[in-house]
Structure 1
Amino acid sequence: MWILGNPIKIEGSEFSNTRAIYICNHASPLDIFLVMWLTPTGSVGIAKKEVAQAIVKKNLSLIIFPEGTRSKTGRLLPFKKGFVHIALQSKLPIVPMVLTGTHLAWRKNSLRVRPAPLKVRYLPPIKTIDWEEKDINKYVEMVHDLYLQHLPESQKPLVTEGKNIIRES
C-alpha cells in the first residue's frame, strides 16, 4: 500500500489479536484486503448462518461488514442485525474496526488504487457475554453510534440517511 501512495496509520493494534467478531465499515473493495491482513490468523469471513456454531467449535475469529453491502459514497450505512445474533450465539466479544480513506483510495467502478492516506482504528472489545436477545436493536444502535463517534464527517451518514440505523434482514 505504501508503494501505491497509501500510507496506513493503525491505532489500537493492542486489540487486534483478540479472539472476537471483528466488524468493519465497508466503503471500498480495499476494506476486504485490509481486514484480512489486519485480523488474527484463523479469522474467517461470514458465508452463512451456521458460521456462529463453527467459530465456537473451531476456536476462530470472524470478520463481518455489518452494513451488509458496500457504501457507494463512503458514508456509513445502517447496520444489519446479523453480527449481534452471532455475538449472542457465540458470546465472543465484538472488536469494531473503523476504516477511513479507503473509499478515496479505491473508488466504485475503478480498477486502480489511487494515492490516499488510510487509517485503521481498532476500538476496545465489547463484551457480549451478558447480552440478551430482547435488546438486539439497542446493541446494533450502540455499535453504530461508536462508528459515528470515530468516523470523519465526510463518512458519517447525512441527516436523512442517519435516521435508519438498523437494516432488516
Structure 2
Amino acid sequence: MSGWSDTGKQPDEDEHQRFNRYLQQLADVCQEDEAEMVRVILRDPDEVMAQSAVARHLDRRAHQLLTDPGFGDWFHTMATEVGEQGFLGRRLYEWTLLRSIAVNAPWKPEDVLAASDWFQRTAVQILTSPTALRLLAGDGRTRRIRTAADRRLAEERR
C-alpha cells in the first residue's frame, strides 16, 4: 500500500489524531487499496472511533456512487470488510435501500419505515422519489422527518 501507514505504527497518537488521520487516508485512498485500508482501520484498538471513521467514509463513497453502476461491486467489497452485523453492516444495507429508491429499483415501504432515523433523514435530503417522500411525510418516525419530507414534496412539485 502506498501513501498511508498501518494502525499501530504511531502508538503515541491519541484517538482524535488517529481519527483525523484515518479520515484523510480514506479520502485519499485509491479504489484498489480501499478495502485493505478499511480492514486495517477496523483493527484499531478503539473500536468506536475506528467504526466512526469507516462510517463517514462509507457515507461519502456510497453517496458518490449512489446511481453509479459500480455501486454493487463496491457494496459487496465493503460488506466483506465490515461484516453484515452491527452498525456498519446496517449502514451499508441502508445505503442499498437508498440506492434502490434512487434508481427506481424495487423497494418495500415497510423497509423504509423500519430504517433508522439517520436513513429517513438522509432519504429526505437526497431522494426525489415522490412515493418515498410521501411515505416519509405521512409515516416518518419523527415530526422533523415528516415536516422535511413535506417540504421536499412541495419543492419537487415546483
TM-score (norm. length: structure 1)? 0.27
Q: Which has the larger radius of gyration?
A: 2
Structure (1 or 2) with the greater helix fraction: 2
Structure (1 or 2) with the greater strand fraction: 1
